[in-house]
Every structure is written in C-alpha cells, then in structure tokens.
Structure 1
C-alpha cells in the first residue's frame, strides 16, 4: 500500500467514527446492490471503531466478527444488527 492509499484509508477510518458519516457511507454503498461492497463498507466501519471493541459490544467472538465481515463472509441479519448497534447505527427500511 503506498503512502497516498494509506493516507486515504486513515482519513476514511477517521471519518467513519462519526455515526452520520458512517450511516451515509453504508447507505451509499447499499445503493450499489453489491454484497461484497456492502461487506467491505461494514468491515471498514467496524475497523474504524476497533474490531475488538465492536466484537465486545456486539457480544460476538472476534473470529466470528472477522469471518462474518471477511471477503467471503455472509453475516446473518442478527449479526448485522449487532454490529450496527455496536457502532451506534441501526438498520431501517425506506420506500424505494
């Protein structure tokens, strides 16, 4: 990873600690209708809050969290809700 990429990631993770920014980011990614992109976005939000701390707050094992949010992960709705709650967000549905 070059310096510019690292700086971008650092800035992104810093921004994602703000619940408004994290919600807008996840919402925008959901518009893509790409499960892999959604999983990556959720992983970045969790990373911004510290994966170990998110696992603790979500009452999930760290391995379970990493597996669920990993590249090939497929978190259950319950896991998704726990992770979102752990970072100060909640799942909601709106008319299309």
Structure 2
C-alpha cells in the first residue's frame, strides 16, 4: 500500500486517491488539425518506463485537488510530490542517499 502525501492535506493512504495518468503531457496546440492517428497517439499512447516516472493523481476523497507524483515504477516508492504549478524535481541518482 502506498502512502502519498497530498501537498495540501499531508500523508494519506493511497485509497483516498485516483491515478490520472502520465504527467507533463502537453495538449496539442491545434487539436482540430490532427489526423486520427495523431489524435489517437496523444490520447492513448504514453511512456511505459521502468524507474522514476511522473504521474498525475487526484485526492478524490479529500481536497479533490490534482497534483503530480514522481514514483519509481519498479519499486513503487514515492520519490517526490509536487503541485501542478511547481517544477518537476530531478529524480534521485541511483545508489544515492534519499
């Protein structure tokens, strides 16, 4: 079970949150100009990397605010939590102190 620290409410059990997909995916500038294939790529295709990965989460049973989580997809360790208007933190170096 994950313990995620909401930037507004503090640490809460993962059952209070809902996953919202990959973070930092820019919306197309002119969606009407995209082909069906390009639109499908924007809507459905996301990175599937092993290691630190930026995700969007919503505190659905708390403050109902969206925020980002930097989580290691191999270990499920939450590396950082930050607001949508905040900068993405650098992932910790392998073998470094956390």
TM-score, reference length from structure 1: 0.24
Structure with more strand by fraction:
2
Structure with more helix by fraction:
1
Question: Which has more radius of gyration?
Answer: 2
TM-score, reference length from structure 2: 0.24
